[in-house]
Amino acid sequence: MTRMQSSDSVYYFSVNFPYSQCEALYSGNYPNVVLTAESGQTIQVPSSRIRPFVSGVGLTGRFRLIVDKNNKIKSFERLR
C-alpha cells in the first residue's frame, strides 16, 4: 500500500483497450501514453507503467495513479 501525503494527487482511470491497440506499447515508439482521468484531466503516463497490466485481451479495468507534489509517480495500480 502506498503511503499518501496531503500534497499527493490521485487520478482514476477506467480503460478498455483491445490487445491490437496495446501492441504499440511494446514497439518503443510510444514511451508515454496520454490517458483521460475520470475527472476529465489528461495525464501522461510512461508506457512502462502500463505494460504489466496488458493481457491477451488487452488493457481493461479501473486504475489509480498517485503522484507526489513534483508529479513523480508513487503508484500506478489496477483497482478492478
Q: Which residues contact 50 (CB under 8 A, 6 or more apart)?
A: 25, 33, 59, 76
pLDDT of residue 66: 96
pLDDT of residue 59: 93
68 in any annotated domain: yes
Domain count for the chain? 1
Check pLDDT > 90 for residue 40. Answer: yes
Express each pLDDT in 41-73 by its tens digit: 999 999 999 999 999 999 999 999 999 999 999
6 in any annotated domain: no
Q: How far is CA 53 from CA 6, 10, 69, in A?
A: 28, 19, 25
Which domain, by its residues, includes 41?
15-78
3 in any annotated domain: no
User: Contact, 41 vs 11, CB < 8 A?
Assistant: yes
4 in any annotated domain: no
56 in any annotated domain: yes
Is 0.75 surpassed by the pTM of this model? yes
Q: Which position has the higher pLDDT, 79 or 23?
A: 79
